[in-house]
Structure 1
Amino acid sequence: MRRTRWAAGAGAGLLALMALPTAALADGKTLQLANDGKLPLEVGLNSVWVLVAGILVMFMQAGFAFLEIGFSRGKNAGTVVAKILVNFSICAICFYAVGFAFAFGEGNQFIGTSGFFLAGVDAGKNFPLVDVAQGTITVETLWFFQFVFAAVSLAIVWGTTLERIKFGVYVIYAIVFSSIIYPIGAHWIFGGGWLATSFHMQDFAGSTVVHLMGATGAFAALLLLGARRGKYGPDGKPRAIPGHNMPLFGLGVLILWLGWFGFNPGSGLNALDGRFPEIAMVTNLAAAAGVITAVAMMYFKTKRIDIGMAGNGAIAALVAITAPSGYVELWAAPIIGGIAGVIVVVGVLAIDKYIDDPVGALSAHGLAGIWGTISCGLFTAPRLAAKNGVGEGGLFYTGSFTQLFDQIVGVLAAFAFVFSCSYLTFFLIKKTYGLRVSAEEEDAGLDISEHGMYGYPEQFIPAPELVGYAPAATPVGLGQSPAATTREVPA
């Protein structure tokens, strides 16, 4: 019966989409200009670059998958794959239907109110950032680039909740986050909302919009979710729960680093102004400095070269440089990234005493995101502020605290909005559907308890019984032996 209802609902939704007028789902004027050979060449060149940059950002989903799998125990490795795919897909549909309109449609200082399903698009009508006549990118290009940003922000939420959250929570929160929370926050800063126009907040590629907002949602979830079983001893002190695969974690970090060369340079939405190679260099210098300072900081504390902190140093530095990447000179990048490497080490060690964050996202994306946003108020070069048309130079150039104040206001406003909405959402989920799997399911691992199969079957099923393995209704660890949960499949 439940499957029938799901199928009927999905079918009704598809019919509703098909019933929409075809003209409402495409940028008709832009297509006509292209057919007539009148579409400006720069529109094509800029759109190709931004689309490629968006593809690099999309590839960051693979980075998140490998990072989270590496930091998980083997019994929870497979569930990350399903989580990444399902969340990415939900975000795509929701951001197409309403999220993009709320974030970038014409409306008011709080929210966009036009362009749902890209309806009414006419060579930039409804979307102030798109003006084909002026040689900018097509609407569809902007949609894809901003969608993958939203998907990254959503992915950040879940790294903190590994190994004990119900899979259905992903679905519910992903819909709310992709449709409402992220788009409204993005509108305030990226879409010409009140933080951009009244406070001239600088956030070139999303230290606040993408990373802090994702980390804030994660923080709200953790306050209600609680720690993994066994994380804290009877004395309240944290215990290490090592991830099962550091090579995969390292691969994830390198993929994320690569993706950032789309994230930051692509945010200029322009291939012809000569800025994106400089922004790529700024990004890389910051990341390199973050690795070095994080490793040095951990060696100072433990006399060991910590693998996890090396990776988190890179990520924290990349998060920090995301906001100022289009506003600062090359010399400032290693300073911003290096400080982020120190922040992530101090943050992870401090937060771990009280909150179970398996991947260190609260520090790497939250604290580093705050630092990166505030650093604009210190390091922004006046020439780049003028070029971007947002705010003014930072304190070290102008001696003025104005931009620093604007950055702090932006951070506080974004945090307050996302936290309140996310906490309310997770609170309602906890009271109705529930947040956590049972203790028995957590002990067995989410792979088998939530998905009925192991990510690494050979590690959990004796070799003789692995041949012809097919999971039964009751998974291993839930009151049965491995033998009781396998059956032979006829050849």
Structure 2
Amino acid sequence: MEITFELGYALDTFYFLICGVLVMWMAAGFTMLEAGLVRAKNTTEILTKNVALYAIASIMYMVCGYSIMYGGSDFVFFLDGITADGATGVAEDAATYAPAADFFFQVVFVATAMSIVSGAVAERMKLWSFLIFAVFLTAFIYPMEGSWTWGGEAVFGLYTLGDFGFSDFAGSGIVHMAGASAALAGVIVLGARKGKYGPDGKVNAIPGANLPMAALGTFILWMGWFGFNGGSVLATATVESANSVAVVFMNTNMAAAGGLVAALLLARALFGKADLTMALNGALAGLVAITAEPSTPTPLVAAVIGACGGLIVVGSILALDKFKIDDPVGAISVHGVVGLFGLLVVPLTNPAAKFGGQILGAATIFIWVFVTSLIVWMAIKAVMGVRVTDEEEFEGVDMSECGLEAYPDFTISR
């Protein structure tokens, strides 16, 4: 069956844009998940951070991030070159979708990486310190590691990851582990919330204020992930690409299901109760685990990969608490530890990927993002501080940072 280039171009562009919209919808998922897992007195700041970081990511990736990641210096003015039919010098053997669609799809990935940082540093970070860091991550830190991976550039001119068999289909490492690496650096500089860890090493649970909202956020993320992974096929206008999209959707769903069930069962075995927060993180862990390669496993293997991610995330959350790394939403475990796992299992189903290349790629991403983020966090701390005062943390950062509360009718007068 043949289709004209113009029709294929239109279909692939439309599909790319719709998948980008689904990924953009993940921003709402992160917002709801984080808002549900923090205390009521810190909800408004979480909401503010998430809507603001999306806007900052869009602007900074337009200004310089996209050009750093994929080359070229005139992207800000690329619309000037678009011809009447919407193509910018696109030949039939070149790109199969509009350049603007590619930018839109890529920018929502950048925002996803920054959203991961938001939850990990919640309840004690200054709003403006966070937003300044967002500028650096979305304008430079993420685009640089993206240029070495998806951009195909040599790492500081030394080696090309693709030559070593590195493969990351939709971003278990490039997006998720990168965001978690930046979050880990921020948490180390920031320190734990007051009262989280006792002097005797006891870990004190700090429950979230709105678990229905957290569950809604997880379902939104689950839905958005079909665009995240499915859009990374990059096309749907041929029989081959349409079949590939269907397989990716199927495996994405199975991995999430496997992750949730495995985490729920492990939590029941460990705590004697069905822990909702662990179940939610299990679903997300399954999604992160399959993101590195959702196109080659069978649905059963995808479910097993997701289940392994669900088991890993429960153990990782408990382990990080032992090291007093305070992550209110489990973002470092879900996106970082499981993101690494996702990279390492790619060669099991994709023979083109090599274990050595996966390890080298993971190390490159982690070292670059963690070290540069740590430098930026420390610089921000030296200039304006990163943490609110003890009194502001006790009262809640909503009032001190945003001047209003998310649930004023349910707040007890102080």
Q: TM-score, normalised by structure 2?
A: 0.92
Letter of the 1:172 partner, please give it: I
In the alignment, residue 216 of structure 1 is paired with which amino acid? S
2:181 corresponding residue in structure 1: 216
Give the stretch that moved more between structures: 304-313 or 329-338. Answer: 329-338
Asked whether 1:192 is paired with 2:155, we answer: no
Q: What's the counterpart of residue 250 of structure 1?
A: 215
Mapping of residues 85-484 of structure 1, within 5 Å: 85-105=51-71, 113-119=72-78, 131-134=90-93, 136-194=96-154, 195-272=160-237, 273-274=241-242, 275-353=244-322, 354-380=324-350, 382=351, 392=352, 403-460=354-411
Q: For the Cα contact (< 8 Å) 2:236–2:245, is it kept in 1? A: yes
In structure 2, how many angstroms separate the alpha carbons of the residues matched to 1:118 and 1:52?
24
Aligned residues: 396
Q: Within 1, Cα distance between the matches of 2:27 and 2:348?
A: 32
- The higher radius of gyration belongs to 1
Partner of 2:166: helix, strand, or coil? Answer: coil
Check whether the contact 1:319–1:365 (CA below 8 A) recurs between aligned residues. Answer: yes
Q: Secondary structure at the match of 2:92?
A: helix
Task: Supply the distance in 2 between the matched residues of 1:74 and 1:321 (Cα, whole angstroms).
Answer: 33
- In structure 1, what residue type is equivalent to 2:134? A
- List alignment gaps of at least 5 residues for structure 2: 84-88, 155-159
Equivalents in 2 of 1:301, 1:234: separation in Å? 24
- Structure 2 Cα separation of the partners of residues 184 and 86 of structure 1: 22
Provide the identity percentage.
40
Cα distance in 1 for partners of 2:9, 2:127 equals: 42
Contact 1:211 1:365 in 2 (8 A): yes
1:166 Cα deviation after fit: 0.2
Measured in 2, the distance between the counterparts of 1:246 and 1:283 equals 24
Distance in 2, Cα, partners of 1:370 & 1:412: 9
Contact 2:50 2:118 in 1 (8 A): no
Could you tell me how far apart the structure 1 residues matched to 2:74 and 2:299 are? 38
Contact 2:165/2:356 (<8 A) preserved: no
Tell me if structure 2 keeps the 8 A contact 1:316–1:364.
Answer: yes
Query: Which deviates the most, 331-340 or 203-212?
Result: 331-340
- Bigger shift: residues 266-275 or 196-205: 196-205
Unmatched tracts of structure 1, length 5 or more: 1-37, 106-112, 125-129, 383-391, 394-402, 463-480, 482-491
1:81 pairs, out of 33, 47, 52, with: 47
**1: CA distance, partners of 2:257 / 2:120:** 25
Q: CA RMSD in A?
A: 1.9
Report SS of the residue matched to 1:352.
helix
1:66–1:248 contact (8 Å) kept in structure 2: yes
Q: In 1, Cα distance between the equivalents of 2:299 and 2:319?
A: 31
In 1, are the aligned partners of 2:193 and 2:326 still within 8 Å (CA)? yes
1:59 & 1:241 partners in 2: Cα distance? 28
Query: Partners in 2 of 1:327 and 1:209 — Cα distance?
Result: 19
Task: Give the residue type in structure 1 aligned to 2:403.
Answer: G
Alpha-carbon offset, residue 332 of structure 1:
2.0
Secondary structure of 2:285's aligned partner: helix
Contact 1:204–1:327, Cα closer than 8 Å, also in 2 = no
Letter in structure 1 aligned against 2:10: G
Q: Distance in 1 between matches of 2:5 and 2:387?
A: 53
Q: CA deviation at 1:122?
A: 5.5
- Aligned pairs for 1:43-58 (under 5 A) are 43-58=9-24
Q: CA deviation at 1:329?
A: 3.3
What is the deviation of 1:373? 0.6
How big is each residue's C-alpha offset from its partner over 1:5-50, in whole Å with a ceiling of 9 and x where there is no partner?
A: xxxxxxxxxxxxxxxxxxxxxxxxxxxxxxxxx9721111000001
Aligned mates of 1:284, 1:118 — CA distance in 2: 39
- Is contact 1:115-1:121 (8 Å) kept? no
